[in-house]
Amino acid sequence: MTTPLATYLPQLRDAVASSSRVVLLLDFDGTLAPLVQRPELAALPQPTRAALTALQSSPRVTLAFISGRALADLRSRVGLNAIYAGNHGLEIEGPGLDFHGVDLIQSTEVLRAVSAKLAEKLHAIPGAQVEDKQSSLSVHYRNVDPSLAPRVKQITQSVTASYTNFVVLHEGKLVIEVRPRVDWHKGKAAEWILQQIASPAPLIIAMGDDRTDEDIFRSVPDSISIKVGEGPTSARFRVGDPGEVGRVLELIREAVSCRATV
Ligand SMILES: [Mg+2]
């Protein structure tokens, strides 16, 4: 049962104010940054950046950004002192943290081959975009005429069909992810991050908008989990859009600084 977060804001404020340690597990696209036509143009809205910048400076707060983007891309868009998990958690870096532990060498070679073939086959479909993120690929079709979207999926499936020992497809919002076939996802990345830092037991707040974020909500069941936007979810709470996420972050910031002055 998912509750609108608005009805829980006073409790959220109290929970944050009374916690000695708060960990935020945050997706980027569609959660912090509004979805845009071209992924390379996505950016943090100013109020969200201001709240995150203030939170970063609190010793009680740990920020972890967990995204499907490549780690370097994610870090450059956020630009804060934080933990970054890129490629759905296949690469994690942060103060004292460095995880590139999943054996990807063979999959990485396969991904280069798949990337080249996809680029070639999708060339004929206007707006289709293959983004090579080194440890995974994204086939974007948000700029493709909707009538051609099934064709993009069909081509992606047929190109990857002979590599299914190495790669697996995941559907996101107007994107198909081609990922190494490894037993790893955002939820396992979140668990790994928490194991590295969780002492004392923190208050965990997780926010995400897409199917891949459900792995986080399920892997960290004790968290205050917040789904952004419509759609089925196992999160406990829901907000409407990234603008509302910015306001929630501002409320968290206030609650954190409120405690600091007690
Ligand atoms: Mg997202």
Each residue of 160-185: pLDDT tens digit? 998 888 899 999 999 999 998 888 89
What is the distance in A from the centroid of ligand 1 to the CA of 82? 18
Domain layout of the chain by residue ranges: 3-101+184-260, 105-180
Q: Say if CB 95 and CB 55 are below 8 A apart.
A: no
DSSP codes joined into one string, 115-164: HHHHHHHHTTSTT-EEEE-SS-EEEE-TTS-GGGHHHHHHHHHHHHGGGT
232 CA distance to ligand 1 centroid (A)?
14
Q: Are 81 and 64 in contact (CB under 8 A)?
A: no
Is 27 within 8 Å of 207 (Cβ atoms)? yes
CATH topology match: 3-101+184-260 vs 105-180 = no
pLDDT tens sequence across 1-33: 799 999 999 999 999 999 999 999 999 999 999
Domain topology for 105-180: Alpha-Beta Plaits (3.30.70)
Residues with CB under 5 A from ligand 1 (ion): 27, 29-30, 209-210
Report which of 71, 113, 62 is spatially closest to residue 91, judged by C-alpha positions: 71
Question: What is the distance in A from the centroid of ligand 1 to the CA of 215?
Answer: 12
Point out the residues that are catalytic: 27
Look up the CATH superfamily of 3-101+184-260.
Answer: HAD superfamily/HAD-like (3.40.50.1000)
One pLDDT digit (tens) per residue for the chain, 262 residues: 799 999 999 999 999 999 999 999 999 999 999 999 888 999 999 999 999 999 999 999 999 999 999 999 999 999 999 999 999 998 999 998 998 865 666 677 889 999 999 999 999 999 999 999 888 899 999 999 999 999 999 999 999 998 888 899 999 999 999 998 888 899 999 999 999 986 778 999 999 999 999 999 999 999 999 999 999 999 999 999 999 999 999 999 999 998 655 4
Q: What is the pTM of this model?
A: 0.84
